[in-house]
Amino acid sequence: MADGTTGGRDRTITGATRVLGLIADPVVQARSPAMANTRLLEQRSFGAFVLVPMHVPAAGLADFVAALRHQRNFSGAIVSMPHKIAIATLIDELTPEARLVGAVNVIRRNPAGRITGTVLDGEGFVGGLLGAGHRVRDAVCLLAGAGGAASAVAFALAKHGCAALHLANRTPAKADVLAARIHSAFPHVAVTVGGTAPARIDISINGTSLGMQPGDALPFSTDVIDRSALVAECVIAPEMTRLLDVARQRGRAIHTGVAMLTSQLDLMLAFMGAG
């Protein structure tokens, strides 16, 4: 039998392997298991750790989190749609960043079974933009959505110095609450909700789940697309959503959601104890 080693590190899954997860619904389209396990291989940590998809519906989330407290070989998990806000109320501790945003996209379990969560989506999104050569400081941004990913992106844009942020959400009350929280933390940022979008938009961003399924509506109008210098996604799979296809056809620069995951992957693994 082959020894299954690379550089002296065993890549075999054994009873000693620490389990990482991706908690989402749906999960079949997710890119993060393949990306994370590839990174673990590159770090020579695969075998000591493995990341597996965990398809958890909303109705079962509380029971699932309770069970994780008793799974002693569970080390942590990436948390994706639609659980980023709900899971923040089910775990034992939030980092200051997660408390500010009100959402979690990665958790870890300590030896006593306590679960801590943080949020890295916002820094990942901004890091992806900056890595691609786009500017956030002094930018006028439009963001569709007010859920977990969108909230994280909104706070990160404000933290990194955007000049103005316009929030568009199907439920205006949720956008109003998010706008008030952003203004409280970053009073220098001009935050508006609903109504007419800015005449000039440097970056328009989809922070909703629209685009994950065939036939989804656009998260904002083609008029907004035409006013935008850059159209950006938080949806990771498919990489080319209908929004990005339409934007490219209309001559706009585009930025896919994969960059958001790529730029935070090492941070996620480190938070889960596998970095």
Residues annotated as part of the active site: 84
In a 3-state reduction of DSSP, which class is residue 274? coil
Q: What are phi and psi of 53, to 5 degrees?
A: -70, 140
Q: What are phi and psi of 27, to 5 degrees?
A: -130, -10
Three-state secondary structure string covering 207-271 = CCCCCCCCCCCCCCCHHHHHHEEEEEECCCCCCCCHHHHHHHHCCCEEECCHHHHHHHHHHHHHH
Q: What are the Cα distances from residue 73, in Å, to 50, 64, 68, 272?
A: 11, 15, 9, 12
Dig out the tokens for 31 from the structure.
């890119």
- Cα 22 to chain centroid distance, Å, stands at 12
Place of tokens 């933009």: 129
Place of tokens 């935008």: 228
Cα–Cα distance, 209 to 204 (Å, whole number): 15
Q: What are phi and psi of 117, to 5 degrees?
A: -130, 150
